[in-house]
Amino acid sequence: MKHTVDVNIPLGPVHPCFKEPARVKCETKGERIIAAEVELGYMKKGIERIMKGRPWQEVMFLAERVCGICSVIHNMVFIEAIEQVSGIAVPPRAAYLRVVANELDRMQSHLLANFSYCYTIEHETLGMYLLDLREKVMDVIERLTGARVTCAYIIPGGVRFDIGAQDEAFLRESLARIEDDLTRYTGMFESGPMIALRSRGIGILTKEAAMQAHAVGPTARASGISVDRRTEHPTYRQLGFEPVVRTECDNYARIMVRFGEVFQSIRLIRACLDNLPEGVIRGGGTCTAGETRYSGEAPRGELTYIIRTDDYGRVIDIQIQTPSIMNIEACCHVMIIGVDSVADVTSTFVSADPCIACTER
Amino acid sequence: MSAWIYEQDLTAQKYRILVSVRHDRVIRQIAADLDIGLQELRKYVIEHCDMILLENLPARYEAALTAAGDADPVAKAIGRDLYTTAIPLVPTGIMETIYQTTAAKVAAGTPFDAAVADARAMMKEVIHA
């Protein structure tokens, strides 16, 4: 789209506040943003094309490499899609352990997102506290799955490793420490006057606009839309899951929804450990031919895999719809339009927790 | 007055987005629905939409179809919300005029399919222009 404007400010592709490269071209009138255009293509992987024709054993490793921040959910959604196609049942113990891994992944992703936001609004102290807390969560993930990222923990018909008594004690102890620290940090965010100045009433995404842009995840839930794929997942239903929803529709609400979800994840993990069924962690099964569309709730929102497999479990066709696609669009075409300062563009962009790796796949 | 100093020609990249499986399916559906040439429609959306909107095209299309539900049959048939707010092919003001004209024709006794076909022709003209 080539056109002439009064002043345009290109942010990115390399910007200190962006974790990944993307260019947001802002059209301004004074300090006010009146339009924005997003330019992608700096880290296209073409991973869907690479996946085609490969057996599921290879695709499951590729799937979690779509995104390094939320790799567990990519692993989980792909495997559960394969299980749906092939009619493979998961033992109850494995289903609970999947929730534990997934919620730990959500915790570290949300803590990283909130760190990025605090860093962007120049509250680096709180940002560093959150980053330190994330390291504790990463240690727990490593203890449970054997790796910090791309752990390939979830496999068709179960999970790779069981949780021992010592690991469980370590997990419970870590959760208690994380909960204590996070209560304090959330209080700092809630009551900080400078944080409020940079966050409250900025980057408004109304409920109607969020629905129109098909916004998902914490971005949608911060706009009063009670949408979460976990409400339809059988294991989460057993745990009595209820989404965290706020109605302020601004940057503050998006960050607070994420804080709320970290506390919720801690509660869910504890519930899983308290009610962990006895039994095997791998049920077995054979991957067969079929076609399905399967969605799960990633830290950033609804993640959908549309797959078609052949008789040998090879992936013939695959499309991945990641949540950041919808959230970045909502952010750049609605949230940042009308903000009164260019400085608020980066903070609003980061508040939507954009993941360019997911978007470009 | 200044132009985009970093502007590149993004046509090739946008085209790659549009020919991926789900996007291609949506674009073909819209082209068939509006009776427009496929390449012509691709050119139009490449010129009028930015990259993230193109990436979001299938999700917006699905969301608009779900939202349409059992609403006003004329609005649903001509895609009043689909082709304005979800996929911005026709300006809102022009679409409103097309909708009013079609609704009036249906109320006056014109067969529903014929009135919708006329509406499609008007939308096609807007895209051609």
The contact set of A with B (CB < 8 A) is 1-8, 10, 23, 25, 37-41, 48, 211-214, 306, 317, 319, 321, 325-326, 328-329, 332-333, 359
Res B129: pLDDT: 72
Distance of CA A149 to CAs A143, A195, A329, B33, B76, Å?
Answer: 12, 31, 27, 45, 46
Check if the beta carbon of residue A221 is closer than 8 Å to that of residue A245. yes
- Mean pLDDT score, A221-234: 91
Domain count, chain A: 1
Chain A touched by B25 (CB under 8 Å): no
Band (A273; pLDDT cuts 50, 70, 90): very high
- Mean pLDDT score, A215-223: 91
Among A21-25, A91-95, A245-249, A305-309, the range scoring the smallest mean pLDDT is A21-25
The domains of chain B, with CATH numbers, are 11-128 (1.10.3070)
Tell me the ipTM for this assembly: 0.77
Q: What is the pLDDT of residues A275-305, one digit of tens each?
A: 999 888 888 888 888 899 999 999 999 999 9
Check if the beta carbon of residue A323 is closer than 8 Å to that of residue A220. no
**Which residue in B21, B53, B86 is closest to A212 by CB distance?**
B86
Contact across the interface for B1 and A6, Cβ inside 8 Å:
yes
Res B111: pLDDT: 87
Q: What is the pLDDT of residues B83-112, one digit of tens each?
A: 888 888 888 888 889 988 988 888 888 888
In terms of Cβ atoms closer than 10 Å to its own Cβ (0-12, 13-18, 19+), residue A181 is: middle
**Which residue in B5, B52, B86 is closest to A332 by CB distance?**
B52
Q: What is the pLDDT of residues A44-66, one digit of tens each?
A: 888 988 999 999 889 999 999 99
Q: Is residue A39 part of a domain?
A: no
- Token duo for residue A67: 């995104």
Q: Is residue A230 part of a domain?
A: yes
Rg over alpha carbons for chain A, rounded to the nearest Å, is 20
Res A173: pLDDT: 93
Determine phi and psi for A118, rounding to 5 degrees: -60, -40
Nearest to A234 by CA among A84, A25, A116, A118: A84
Domain that holds residue A266: 45-338
Share of chain B above pLDDT 90, in %: 12
CB proximity list for B87: less than 8 A, separation 6 or greater = B30, B45, B57, B60, B61, B64
Band (B1; pLDDT cuts 50, 70, 90): very low
Res B4: pLDDT: 55
Res B89: pLDDT: 87
Identify the CATH number of the domain in which residue A188 sits.
Answer: 1.10.645.10
pTM: 0.88
Distance of CA A63 to CAs A124, A176, A304, A359, Å?
Answer: 33, 32, 12, 14
